[in-house]
Structure 1
Amino acid sequence: MTQNPPFAALLVLSASAFVAGTTLLAKMLGTDVLGPALHPLQISQGRFVFALSSFALAALVLRPSFTRPAWAVHTGRVVLGWGGISFLFAAAAFIPLADATAISFLNPVVGMLLAIPFLGEKVGPWRIAAALIAVTGAMILLRPTPEAFQPAALLAVGAALCLGCELVVIKRLTGREGAFQILLVNNLIGTGIASVAALAVWQMPTPGQWAALAGIGVLMASAQTCFVQALRRADASFVSPFWYATLIFAALYDAALFGVVPDRVSLFGGAVIVAGAGLLAWREARRKPAPTLAGVTPSAAIPSGSAPMPPAAPPPSRPRR
């Protein structure tokens, strides 16, 4: 497919808006906005059930071809993704959306660090610099002081660790299966795991809660679709930093519905994150567009929760940046 970085950036920004919408709905479900609060495990189940329904309907229409899935790899990936998204939904009920999202977005750093010993990857200086700038912005949003610390923030840390480990497992799927198949199998296994986990805490949702659960699934399916389409049009190293716009969308949603207005620190942190994405976009724009993705295929880069792929290492035939 022809490379189109501007359109790829727009797709990732759309995906980030959708993902921020899922955390907003999860916060509404985890509080008493739409009725008696639902348990995070039930919210996670709803995310998988309705996302699976979306992809199953698409499969009936598109009739894609399938190969034999790597069930063990898929299962390991889904367990980590399910754990990560469940932790994130739990954190969203107790702390501001921007804070919960910011902490969970440390997962690309976790994935990058784990990829060095487990996958033998090397990461160039430009990608490291862009990631560090973005993470710095996330830390500014966190306000990591003893006075501002909340125990619920540890739930978001758990999300970051799970989703970071998931990124390493995702790499095992590189080149093995088609993108649509990975999405369908991911949500199929995730629905089974999440449904079993939610049995002990499941309660009948209100009509508004049913709508919100369906919204989470559809928004997540839309985000995954936008993300993989973006990866078909630009390097993963180019599109990944734009995913941090989720923090900005989360802050805007929180302000609109819960009255949590971002202060100067939040605005500065968001600006730093955008600067990190802008640095990489400028650097990549000075290079000749690559015919393929840098070190990762679209089918390998689809997050099962809300995690983006970390900036990928360039292939050996290309110079390190």
Structure 2
Amino acid sequence: MATTTNTAQGAALMVCCMAIIGLVDNYVGVIAGEGGLWQFHFMRSVMVCGTLLVLSVLMGWRILPRNWRGVAVRSICGAISMGVYFGALAFLPIAQVGAGLFTAPLFVLLFSVLFFGQRIGIWRIVAAVVGFVGVMMVLKLDVTAVQLIAVLPMLAGITWALTALSTRYLCDGEDTVTLLFWFFFALGVLGAIGLGLMAAGLGDGGSFVTTGWVEPSFIFWKWTIVQAVFSMVAVAMLTRAYQVGDTSYIAVFEYSFLIFASFWAWILFAQTVDVWGMVGIALIIASGAVIALRSADA
């Protein structure tokens, strides 16, 4: 079934998605203290994929893709993006990693022009750049201390942009449940590969990314289940958002993750945002409003 463009609906879905992710991702540090990255991805994916398989039988949902190649490209890009993002956290401050990931909307705009012939108006380009400046202010990215390892988060941003674009251009007509299942299936495969490499002696257990399989504690089970449930709902919203809305518009609403993450951190852990951070958030909101209101050829 082909999708019809409805950017307002897509934007609303994206904002709801980011509100959920901004909440549950505040507890990733708790999970990291109890186990490894690869075990987390594997176990969470088993939970999500198992749930979707059961529901697909009961509800008649479609799991098999209509376009295997398009769904495979999207799933692989998404898995690589999340793998690089979480993996980079073992080597870099969260500010640099987060800023790298949130370059994705800029790459969405760039790739839309280069590969899909989409017309991008000057206001949307300026607004996207302003939004990225806001991200840097919120995350306090130190642009004077560039190292080779700092390029890794940019790979997460590039592959996440490719995930967004492939959703719109390669997976048109696919059911949301289909894309959701194979996204988590790819993450599960990534987790299994990582566990295999750790078991082969490549992991020393010294960090989240170098820890292999450990006996899951109650805390690990608890927050992995929470992550599985809420991430399944959130990623379904994200997938649908890119299906129904213009990709270049919808991508910028991903910036709202920073707003919600900061809000939940304040509510849960009394972490506050300084003046420059609030200015950055204001720039992000302004950029999203401009992009939503301007036409593509403005």
- Do both proteins adopt the same fold according to a TM-score greater than 0.5, normalized to the shorter chain? yes
Shift in CA distance, 245/89, structure 1 to aligned 2, threshold 3 Å: same
- Which amino acid in the other structure matches residue 28 of structure 1? V
Asked if 1:247 corresponds to 2:271, the answer is no
**In terms of mean alpha carbon deviation, does 4-13 or 69-78 score higher?**
4-13
Deviation at 1:206, TM superposition (A): 0.9
Shift in CA distance, 7/114, structure 1 to aligned 2, threshold 3 Å: closer
- Which amino acid in the other structure matches residue 221 of structure 1? M
Give the 5 Å matches for 1:211-250. Answer: 211-230=222-241, 235-250=246-261
- Which amino acid in the other structure matches residue 255 of structure 2? Y
Asked if 1:166 corresponds to 2:163, the answer is yes
Asked if 1:124 corresponds to 2:134, the answer is no
Q: Which runs of 5+ in 1 are unaligned?
A: 285-313, 315-319
Equivalent residues of 2:167, 2:242 under 8 A apart: no
- Within 2, Cα distance between the matches of 1:13 and 1:51? 22
Equivalent residues of 1:16, 1:223 under 8 A apart: yes
Asked if 1:283 corresponds to 2:280, the answer is no
Deviation at 1:230, TM superposition (A): 4.4
Equivalent residues of 1:43, 1:89 under 8 A apart: no
The DSSP-based 3-state class of the residue aligned with 2:294 is: helix
Equivalent residues of 2:70, 2:171 under 8 A apart: no
- Within 1, Cα distance between the matches of 2:19 and 2:95? 13
TM-score norm. by structure 1 comes to: 0.72
Shift in CA distance, 88/27, structure 1 to aligned 2, threshold 3 Å: farther
- Within 2, Cα distance between the matches of 1:149 and 1:256? 33
Work out which structure has the larger RCO, using CA pairs closer than 8 Å and 6 or more positions apart in sequence: 2
The DSSP-based 3-state class of the residue aligned with 2:142 is: coil
Deviation at 1:235, TM superposition (A): 4.4
Q: Residue 20 of structure 2 corresponds to which residue in structure 1?
A: 18
Equivalent residues of 1:107, 1:161 under 8 A apart: yes
Q: Which of 277, 282, 285 is matched with 1:271 structurally?
A: 282
Shift in CA distance, 93/13, structure 1 to aligned 2, threshold 3 Å: farther
Q: Residue 108 of structure 1 corresponds to which residue in structure 2?
A: 105
Shift in CA distance, 23/46, structure 1 to aligned 2, threshold 3 Å: farther
Equivalent residues of 2:106, 2:128 under 8 A apart: yes
Equivalent residues of 1:27, 1:93 under 8 A apart: no
What do residues 73-117 of structure 1 show as CA deviations (whole Å, max 9, x unaligned)? Answer: 433332321121123234557777666434311112123323433
- Within 1, Cα distance between the matches of 2:114 and 2:13? 32
Percent of aligned pairs with the same amino acid: 22
The DSSP-based 3-state class of the residue aligned with 1:116 is: helix
What do residues 109-144 of structure 1 show as CA deviations (whole Å, max 9, x unaligned)? Answer: 123323433334332333323322211211222333
Equivalent residues of 2:79, 2:183 under 8 A apart: no
Equivalent residues of 1:12, 1:230 under 8 A apart: yes
Deviation at 1:146, TM superposition (A): 6.2
Deviation at 1:57, TM superposition (A): 3.5
Q: Residue 297 of structure 1 corresponds to which residue in structure 2?
A: none
**In terms of mean alpha carbon deviation, does 248-257 or 231-240 score higher?**
231-240
- Which amino acid in the other structure matches residue 157 of structure 1? M
- Within 2, Cα distance between the matches of 1:4 and 1:75? 25
Q: Indicate the structure with greater helix content.
A: 2
- Within 2, Cα distance between the matches of 1:112 and 1:4? 18
- Within 2, Cα distance between the matches of 1:272 and 1:196? 40
Equivalent residues of 2:128, 2:252 under 8 A apart: yes
Asked if 1:187 corresponds to 2:184, the answer is yes
Equivalenced residue count is 282
Equivalent residues of 1:27, 1:92 under 8 A apart: no
- Within 2, Cα distance between the matches of 1:145 and 1:116? 29
- Within 1, Cα distance between the matches of 2:88 and 2:268? 17
Deviation at 1:258, TM superposition (A): 4.7
Deviation at 1:245, TM superposition (A): 1.0
Q: Residue 48 of structure 2 corresponds to which residue in structure 1?
A: 51
- Within 2, Cα distance between the matches of 1:164 and 1:25? 25
**In terms of mean alpha carbon deviation, does 67-76 or 102-111 score higher?**
67-76
Q: Which runs of 5+ in 2 are unaligned?
A: 199-211
Q: Residue 308 of structure 1 corresponds to which residue in structure 2?
A: none
Equivalent residues of 2:109, 2:248 under 8 A apart: no
Equivalent residues of 2:21, 2:231 under 8 A apart: yes
TM-score norm. by structure 2 comes to: 0.77
- Within 2, Cα distance between the matches of 1:253 and 1:272? 20
Shift in CA distance, 99/28, structure 1 to aligned 2, threshold 3 Å: farther
Q: Residue 204 of structure 1 corresponds to which residue in structure 2?
A: 215
